[in-house]
Amino acid sequence: MNRTLANISAVPGEVKPQKRRTESARRPSFRQRRWVKGSLLPAAVIALWELGSLGGGIDPLLFPAPHTIIAEFWNMITTGELQSHLKISLLRAAAGFLLGGSIGLFLGIFAGMLRPVEDYIDPTIQMLRTIPMLALTPLFILWFGFGELSKVLIISLGAFFPMYINSFQGVRSVNAKLFEVAEVLEFSRSKQITKLLIPEALPNILLGLRLSLSFAWMALVVAELMGAERGVGYLIQDARSFMQTAVVFIGVLIFAAAGKLSDSLVRLLERRLLKWQDSYKGKN
């Protein structure tokens, strides 16, 4: 009886909430669809590469087949060789990024807030950031030797400039009227930084964080190629000397994967911290 009344009272064409939820749960999410779309081009390139290698149209010395690279990758994992090199590279990258990124963040904020600080340090920084990293690397080796200090300093230099520039730009993009209101409310300098300046400049700071991480990885390659006995960069250089092209590809792919992973983590942080920002997302 109750079931009959429920069927009679149901509006024709109405979708029950439970059924709607089930159908929406079965549909792939936006992130899953985006991940699939982003994987199509690399998958197509790898498939064509593999077919060309099997057909003999690609020189295996210059472009080893993907299955050969995968086999060599697995062999390096099982022997533990890859983990040892990757560990030292991650430590170098983290130390250099933390040193250079933190200094760039603080100097960018203070130069943006205080005009005298900008007048003293900004011209020198703008001049130094135009010097190619490869031109400075021999000097760092001469000054600090081939040890870890020179490598960490090279990485920190690469991470410093993007963080400084974007932090500075983030501070200068804050609405001046907000500082006037803060002065009327008698905010202290520290309160202005934590309650006003950092939240308003956060989009630029997070952009600087993304760029700083990418530049740190690039500087890591330069540091390890110039003079190192361990690390992924050294692995690439040593494999190039012995024409082990598959190992070179493995090293390049490791840097690419590490850079993509770090960038994705920062983008996740952006989505969490910038929920309030109603920015343009692009058309479907």
Q: What is the mean pLDDT of residues 236-262?
A: 88
Residue 74 located in a structural domain? no
Q: Tabulate helix, strand, coil % of the chain (nearest 5).
A: 80, 0, 20
Is the confidence at residue 167, as pLDDT, over 90?
A: yes
Residue 269 lies in a domain: yes
Domain that holds residue 117: 88-273
Query: Does 226 reside within a domain?
Result: yes
Quick check: 273 pLDDT over 70? yes
Structure tokens at 198: 């950092």
**CATH number of the domain enclosing 205:** 1.10.3720.10
Task: Count Cβ atoms below 10 Å from residue 70 Cβ, excluding itself.
Answer: 13
Distance between CA atoms of residues 81 and 73, nearest Å: 10
Quick one: average pLDDT of 72-80?
A: 91
At residue 26, the pLDDT reads 52
User: How close are the terminal C-alpha atoms of the chain, in Å?
Assistant: 48
Max Cα-Cα span within the chain: 92
- Whole-prediction pTM: 0.77
CB atoms within 10 A of CB 222: 19
Say if 81 falls within a structural domain.
Answer: no
Residues 43-48: what's their mean pLDDT? 86
Is pLDDT above 60 for 202? yes
Q: Is residue 254 part of a domain?
A: yes
Looking at the domain assignment, is residue 179 inside a domain?
yes
For residue 47, which phi and psi values (nearest 5 degrees)?
Answer: -65, -45
Nearest to 235 by CA among 248, 246, 226: 248
Residue 268 scores a pLDDT above 90: no
Is 61 within the bounds of a domain? no
Confidence of residue 160 (pLDDT cuts 50, 70, 90): very high
Q: Return the higher-pLDDT residue of 280 and 63.
A: 63
- Extract the tokens encoding 156: 């920190």
Q: What six digits make up the tokens of 72?
A: 């060599």
- The DSSP 8-state label assigned to residue 13 in this structure reads T
Q: Which residue has the higher pLDDT, 134 or 16?
A: 134
Percent of the chain at pLDDT exceeding 90: 22
Other beta carbons less than 10 A from residue 243's beta carbon: 10
Residue 9 has pLDDT above 50, yes or no: no
Element (H, E) at 195: none
- Selected residue with higher pLDDT from 31 and 184: 184
Scanning the structure block, which residue is given the tokens 């009344």?
A: 5
Mean pLDDT, the chain, integer = 81
Residue keyed to tokens 């081939």: 146
Q: Is residue 177 in a domain?
A: yes
User: What average pLDDT does this structure show over 219-228?
Assistant: 80
The total number of structural domains in the chain stands at 1
Q: Which of 59-68, 94-103, 183-192, 260-269 has the highest mean pLDDT?
A: 94-103
Write the DSSP symbol of residue 92: H
